[in-house]
Structure 1
Amino acid sequence: MDKLLNSSWFVKIIAFLLALMMYTVVSMETTQEATNRTFWTKMYKESETLQNIPIKPYFNEQNFVLTDLPASVDVTLSGSSRLITKAIKVDKNFEAYIDLTNKKPGDNRVKVQVNGLPDGVEAKVKPAYVNVTLHKKITKEIPVNVDLKNTKKLPEGYTAGDVDYTPKSVKVTGAEGMVNQISFISGYVDVGKANEAVRAKVPLRAYNQQGDLIDVKIDPAVADVKVPINKPQKTVPISIETKGQLEEGLKLVSITSSPKELTLTGTTSALNQYDAYKGISIDLSKIKKDTNVTVDVPVPDGIEAVSKKEVTVTVDVEEQNVTKTFSDVPLTLQGVNDKKKATFIDPAEGKVDVTVKGEKEALDSLKKTDLQGIVDVSKLEQGKYDVKIDWKNPADIDLTDAVQEASVEIQTETSSQ
């Protein structure tokens, strides 16, 4: 026995057996603990499915536009109820996402991932993969157009004026293919039943040639619009009424206004009652000469407005009988010949001043040559005589101050011999 104990091989064998026995015991205990741990874990492990979780995409938004991304996915969380509750109701910072940061433009199939969950909670996403498309992003400036709707529903006689809006153009940003499809940017204003100017903030939309909406970003996205609504109007001539009479000796030549017409605004039925504007009256008894007078324009019954607040009325008058003097009117000798000569003694040189009276219009057209004073010496012999002047004046003209006689000297051929 002592020899065995002193043998190195014997001691090594005994040590190996002891080690093997201890490993077996420890291994049995670990397996049992693992079995127990698995049992309790299964006993308290739960799962909960969260529906309609939005997908957060990560990509270069400055250069690309993402399309075809599903709105949401369903996420099933597995783990202890305590941890699941912590993730859903306490932390609230988990998200479903896709990572496109290293993807190129075009169609991409990417895995939906989940982050922000506490340790011990696992996530299963349905669907696990989604198909999306990355597009090159561009920005383009496009003119804006604003159209009117329901113009036929305006009240009777009302019309819509020219639309005033701003901005006149916008910047459109989106996928290159979509932006290039845009045919026009437009907004619409409903003016149906409007009886006064319409002011509105109008959303702007992008449309293709077929009139389909294009999903792009528009900046600014709203236009400030003003649409004037024109009320029924009618333009009528001004008819000036008079009262009183001109003083004796004056005659009314004309009475006119500037402007000659006025535009009335009101309902259609009210406008139909007016063929002329008769709200202006002039008192002729106050007119002494040609006159320009500014008068107020009252608004007639049933009319909302008149285009002018005042007009200028011009009254032209003239004297019924005026006088006019012609100087140096030559007298005409009648009854002289080669054997009988006559010379004027008075008036000298046979010229006189003649004053005539008549209507101004007639006198304005009268000429000196129209006045003829005839001195008839045909029955006179040699000598000096006072001869009556026979004035041949035009019709409607009276001589008010004219020489009636002329002194002449007659010389005959016999007396001169």
Structure 2
Amino acid sequence: MDKWMNNNNFNKVLAVALSIILWAMVHIDSAPTAQSTGHLESKIIENVPIQTTGVDEDKYVISKDANSVRMEVMGKSSDINFVFSDDYRVTLDLSKAKPGTSTIPLKYSLPRGVDLISITPREVHVHIEERNTKSFPVTVIAKGTPADGYRLGTPVVEPATVKVTLAASELAHVAKVQGTVEVNGENEAVTEKRMKLAAYDAKGNEIKDAVIEPASVSVEIPITLPYKSVPLRIGYTGSLPDSLVLSKVTPEVDSVVIYGQEAALASVASYEATLDLGSINRAGTSTIKADLKPPDGAQEIAPKSVNVTVVASEAAERTLRDIPVTLEGVRSGLSASIESPAERTISLTLIGASSLLDQLNKNNIKAVADLSGLGAGNHMVLLQISLPSFVELSNEQRPTVTVQLYSPASSAAPSATPASGTAASPEPSTEPVSGGGSVDGPAASPDNGNSEAPTPTASPATGETGEESLPGAE
């Protein structure tokens, strides 16, 4: 080795070689730089989204005049063509913004090796407004029509109200919150249906930015045959023991709903439930269950049964005197006068619960002589007696009066002051009447008398719903 190092020719060759290597290294490092500078490219990137930062969007509503930007960038082909668009980020920093309107410059970040030439727009106009919340009832729109002959009931929504959150200025325009349910061709109730909600203004335009909580609700829509609600009346079968009378009858409901086609419902004005009084054998309060069946031509009835509270009392007796008689149905051109009894009033002995009888006076009773169809002359007329509920005549009384019908111009007119037309009389309760018609004239019809109520112990209920008794009676 020392031999080669001491050789001048070798040293000269080595020096030349090192010089060549150093020259090559310098030129190799500088060549790529010149080459890369000559291959820069530009690129336009459209619709880069603007990302908002620095603001609580649950508390504030943000509106801006631009949601994306157009960017022109420059770089090597490998840098601008082989990177994801997500690497280009544009942000709107609202950390220092306050409610109101302001203009804020945009910030951006680019991939490594890429430079920005231009960005459009460079700033945006921003309006910041606090969110407000208000509750609204839910409206259901039924789309379509149910099966033929069926009708829609009232929708049931859960929850019935929802909260709408919007900027205060927009919230003032919300008129309703509603959803739509398809019911076309349905013949049974729509149940367990989830309905998506939307907010609308007064013109029916949807307010897109409304935040509704909850966004959907549960809805049920009854779909039934046509129906009609009618009063519930009480009728009776069987009889109470002779010593008992009814004093109060109270059904738990005062109306029922009947389902059927329109033609069948048209003739239904009320529904009568029948109680069997044979099940009552002592004074006091009892509860009787009455089963309800649809009337002829109807399909269903609701409820299907009803509980009725019945109060039975020991029978008592009371006589009322000086009950005025009303004359009705006098033929045109005639006048009428009561010939007998001379005092033109009657007395009646009544049976019922003592609590009811004690409240009675002559104003609670109406005695009517119906003179329809009778001509001039004297007629014995069976009176029609109207009594309060659960009060009846005693001992099958058939009260009558003798009435003279005459022409006012006739010399045969009675000297006594005649009673013509329809004499005034207090209005009674709407109870069945007893008697009626003329005993000896063409209108006489003793068989129409009704001195007995349909049951041996009580006048039946006559269609009044609720409690069947005089006020305050127990």
TM-score (norm 2): 0.44
Identify, as 1 or 2, the structure richer in helix.
1
Larger radius of gyration: 1
The structure with higher relative contact order (CA 8 Å, sep 6+) is 2
